[in-house]
Structure formats: C-alpha cells, structure tokens
Amino acid sequence: MTTVDERDTQIALPGDEAFESATQVFNLAAPARPAAAVTARNVQEIRAAIRYAESHRLSVRVHTTGHGSPTARPMHDAVLIRTRMEGGVDVDEARRVARVPAGTPWGAVVAATAPYGLTAPHGSAETVGVVGYLLRGGMSFYGRKVGVASNSVRAIELVTADGELRRVDATSDPELFWALRGGGGGFGVVTAIEIGLFPAARVITGAAFWTFAEAARLLSTWRRWTLDAPWEVTTSVRVMNLPPIPEIPAALTGGPVLCVDGVVLGETEDDLPAVQRHAEALLGPLRAVAEPVLDTWQSTTPSAVLEAHMDPSDPIAIHGDHMLLDEIGDEGAAEFLRVTGEGSGSPLIAAGLRQLGGAYSVPNPAGGALDHFDAHYAYSGAGVVDGPASVDEIARHCAVIRQALSPWDTGRTAPSFVEGYEQPQGHLGHEQMVAADRVRARVDPSGLFRDDISPNASAAG
C-alpha cells in the first residue's frame, strides 16, 4: 500500500506505516480501523484531510491519545485525524491561563505550570490527552474544589467543516463555546485549548492498601467521612485484584485489596496546617481500623498527583463499565463489596467509587453543556483483556455489578469515565441535546462530523 498525496498532506491507507501511527490507541481492546488516517501537525494538514474526506464521501473522526477508543463509533467509512499540533504549552502567569496544542498529554501541562505554583484540573494519568479529557467533562482529583474540568476551559481553537479556523470563547461565539464543553462532539477538529489555572503550592496525596478482611469496616468509615468531607479533598476507594508482576509490590498481589487514594489540595504554603488536618481526618480513622499493608500518602508537590492513582503508563487492553450513583448507604456499600471483593469471582483488576459532591455538584453559570454531576459517586470497573473469552467473562461480571448497584444508579454517566460504546450512557438532557444539535447544524450543515458524536448526545439518535 502507498499513501495518497492530498494537497501536500499524506493521507495514509491501511498497511502504511503512517496509518499505523495515526491509528494508535491506548486501549488495545478497541483498535481504530478507519478507511484512511492522518497525523495532523498544523491547520493546513487538517484542512487537507477534510477535503480528502469530502472528495471520497467519507466522514471525519478525531482523536489524540486514543484513551477513549472503546467509546468510538465504527470508523470503516471515515478519515481519522490524529491531532499532534505543533508547539508547546504556553503559560500566562498573570492571567493564570495555559494554551495547550491538541495532542498534548497532561504530563506536559503539569510540568509547564508547576514552576509558577499553578496547576490545572488534570486527569490521574500523565499520558491522557488534554483536549478529549476537557471536552468530555473530565473528573480531576481537584474536582471537589474546582468542579468539572470542562468548566476551566477559557477558549477553544478549532477547524470546522468549512475549513475555517475559529477561536471560540464566551464572547466570540457563546453557543458554540457552550456546546463544545461537554456537548458530545461533532463540531470540528480542535487544534488548541486555553485552560484556566489555579494555585497549588502543596498537596498531600498517595494511596493506602489494606487486606480485604477489613474492607467492610474501611468502606463504612470512608463512606461516612465523604458525607461532609471538605471540598479541598477528593478521593476514591477501589477493590483491586492486582497481577503478580515485578512492578507491583508482592504485598498487593496475594488477593483482593482495598485501596483509598486521592488528593488534599493546599493552594498556598499557609494552607499546609489545614491540609494536614484534612488528611488526618480522612486517614486517621482508616488507619485505626487496620494497619495498611502499603501506605504512600505524603506531603509533596502537585506533580506527584499524577502518580497517586497508579494508572498504567503503557497501552493496555481493558474492558469495563461505569455508572454515576446516588448515596449508596450501608446497603449499597455491602452490595458493592459482595460483587467486587473476595468470593465474588470478579475478573476485574479494579472496581472503584470516585467521591463526587463539593464543587462537582454545583451548576456553573458560565459552564458548558456539562457543568456539574448530580451524583454522590462515580463507579467504574475494568478488567484486563487477554483473549475473546476474557471479554465475555468481564462483560458478564460487569452486568452482575450493574444489577447489584441498580437501586442507586442515577441513569447518568460521566463521558470521560465511559468504558464502552455499547454501555448505557447519557450526560445530557433532551433540551441540551437539541441545543447542541442546533449548533452542529450551523457549523457542520453537511454532517461531515456526524459519526464523531458521542452516543446519546444528540436528539437525532
């Protein structure tokens, strides 16, 4: 196979090395299989890819790091644009804003903002792409303090279906700016994004692990603490079945363990005493239940937040599920442990509850289509796929967990936590979907990006 030259842009076809590079995904269980692909590094290459799609009667799809590949619609009749835009992260210290080219991972943003004592509501892994994470809501370990990550977006640069490069913000095109932030996609190819930053001088972050024998008492203690926890603290609890590999301490691989991880934010050095009190209020009662087998919680710099959740740094094949839950109470906590812990037969490597509330739950008047989460917890669970049989096994157990937690299921989801295209999902109401569709019809009247819309994010289906 050879590449096709489309006005100085190399559009790669299956079998080409450039095609393999452009279609790389982080979740290896969901490979991207478009009709053609390109890695775009500038606006001209994006425009050429759009022209190629139009001339070959193909739709246009977009990704950056490929972390969200399981949620993508089939691509067999599409050109996939992988954005790797030129330039680095530009920090405006005075305005507390960073401009980030599309394709940049969060690790680069954290490194660029740290010298200024600032940070962003980033994800828990340094390899996740900034643009996809932000436009799909994003749940940060700073979220209970600063809210849904998409609320931090100050401006968006994108190429629309007509090839026009637009810079969109709250004044230049408020409808498009609203729709881009959580509206489900299908508006164009984002080339850069401007993020509002906030002070972060010191954090206490890490993870503590206990044997499953004390899981019921630990989960009860953690859950009761979450009911009135300070907004400066965002945590999660996970039941983990970790594989015996050299990178993981042996103490964590002998069976299910319960993990509590998260972040306590201190915006200034003067906040450190309060940060320490908040951390002790969380960790003291947990450590009193039982001594952890491993405990990495410590006072450190904000850059360490990227390591606390221990997300994989290399591509991996996983399959899982996600729900937003109401307060589960003692009954729901017991059900969660029954279907995820010892004796459950769970094939999931991790099943957890992310703490919401705080600023996560507060509607933002200046926010986009997705500006808050009306839920107490975000459940997510995933297993490692090592063959067709394991996908079925993981899917069956995900269904068991979904049924067990159904009394507390809000029916809504967080787009950045969704694990698969076919799972139940929805983060917009009908009126929001209609409003987003109106914007799509204006900027993409021919429907070039029609298949780049998230499931259940359009009133058109």
Angstrom distance (rounded) from CA 107 to CA 129: 9
pLDDT at position 102 is 98
Kindly list the distances between the CA atom of residue 435 and the CA atoms of 176, 190, 369, 426, 457, in Å, as whole numbers in the listed order: 10, 20, 9, 15, 11
Query: Can you tell me the distance from the alpha carbon of 172 to that of 209, in angstroms, rounded to the nearest whole number?
Result: 49
Output the pTM of the full model. 0.94
Domains annotated on the chain, with CATH: 4-83 (3.30.43.10), 90-199+427-444 (3.30.465.10), 202-417 (3.40.462.20)
DSSP-assigned letters across all residues of 423-460? S----S-HHHHHHHHHHHHHH-TT-TTGGGSPTT--TT
Q: Which residues pair with 60 in a beta bridge?
A: 79
Given a contact cutoff of 8 angstroms between Cβ atoms, the answer to whether 176 and 443 are in contact is: yes
Which is nearest to 253 in space by CA: 242, 266, 237? 242
The predicted pLDDT at position 9 comes to 58
Q: How many CB atoms lie within 10 A of CB 40?
A: 27
DSSP state of 74: P
CB atoms within 10 A of CB 133: 26
What is the three-class DSSP state of 238? Answer: strand
Splitting the chain (461 residues) into consecutive groups of 10 residues, what average pLDDT does each group show? 49 94 93 96 97 96 91 93 97 98 97 97 93 95 97 98 98 98 97 98 96 97 97 97 82 90 96 96 98 96 90 88 97 98 95 98 96 97 87 95 98 92 89 97 97 92 75
Q: Is 310 left (phi over 0), alpha (psi -120 to 50) or beta?
A: left
Q: Say what the pLDDT of residue 252 is.
A: 86
